[in-house]
Amino acid sequence: MESLQSSLKQWTKNKNIQQQLDEARTALLQDPFVSKALQQFDEVSEEMVEQGLMKLYEYKKELHHCSECPGLSKCPNMMQGYQPKLTVVRGTLDLSYQACSKKEQHDKEKQERQLIKSFYVPKEILSATFDSLDDISEREEASRRALSFAMEARPGEDGDGLYFYGKFGVGKTHLMGAIANELREKGIQTFLVYTPDFFREMKQSIGDGSFQKKLDMVKQAEVLILDDIGAETISGWIRDDVLGAILQHRMLEKLPTLFTSNYDYDELEDHLSYSDKGGIEELKAKRIMERIKHFTTFVTVEGDNRRRR
């Protein structure tokens, strides 16, 4: 027969466990995330709460992870990149999950890169920041212009962009990468495309039926960076139906376009005037250049060739 002392010890132990459970329940229901979620429903009975304690605990834990988000790649939630939403299903508390803003942005960028391969740029450009820029006096003015644009960009309200001109390897694309990453931190959608590859891809996309979708994506980007314009093999169709259509839409919608080139304005106009069918089409080239000149500030990027270091 069990001794009275043993029974008392077990009773005391069970009592402490129940006290801990009660305290944990109270703390759970007082949690700001949980209490706010429960308030959205007209009626939540005690029975619903008791049956849904595990769901409420999961909801609390996951949302606290989100409030201290370490980034999508380190997301500690059960489903990486997803946030819980408290629901009531047939009188029972339940959870549904939806992608967080970081997950949505990541998936969107992934789809865009899969659609337009020329979005791929060197890794050092993808990770470029203003803090990582070389402190070289020759590029001081270009760096200042780039930072000013990144801090003040207002797509849809101000369509003015930049035209970075300079020799091969002086860091024009690196500056644009810093702009793109700064804008991304501010939630501004930025497409940085390598222009020669992009134009080739647009020509090939006619055959697979993706031309219009790709063209619309680039036309409608909040900020567009056309890297190394002038390095492409030009044709009348590329100039008028691709580049011309993109710039016309962006001009009307006040969406900034930025350029890098080894050509200055006059040299780019000469390049655009040549037709693959032979002859020179100065008027059509001039129309394109008027749009570029009117909506960009010309910036000379000087310095040594970074790629020879």
Residue 105 placed within a domain: no
- What gap in Å lies between CA 292 and CA 289, rounded to an integer? 5
Same domain, residue pair 128 and 88 = no
Looking at 100, 135, 158, which one is the last position of a domain? 100
Same domain, residue pair 90 and 127 = no
Residue 109 placed within a domain: no
Q: Domain span at residue 23?
A: 4-100
- Find, among 246, 254, 216, 250, the residue nearest to 229 by Cα: 246
pLDDT, position 287: 93
Same domain, residue pair 177 and 249 = yes
- Only one residue has tokens 């919608």, namely 253
pLDDT, position 42: 83
CB 162 within 8 A of CB 194: no
Residue 110 placed within a domain: no
Q: How many Cα atoms occupy the beta-carbon half-sphere of 267 within 13 Å?
A: 9
CB 261 within 8 A of CB 230: yes
CB 213 within 8 A of CB 115: yes
pLDDT, position 1: 42
What is the full per-residue pLDDT of the chain (309 aa) written as tens digits? Answer: 455 556 545 555 666 777 877 888 888 889 999 999 899 888 888 898 889 889 999 999 999 999 999 998 899 999 999 999 999 998 899 999 999 999 998 888 777 665 544 565 677 777 787 876 665 666 788 889 999 999 999 999 999 999 999 988 778 988 998 998 888 878 888 888 999 999 998 988 988 888 999 899 899 999 999 999 999 888 889 999 999 999 999 999 999 999 999 999 999 999 999 876 666 788 999 999 999 999 999 999 987 666 555
Same domain, residue pair 255 and 120 = yes
pLDDT, position 116: 47
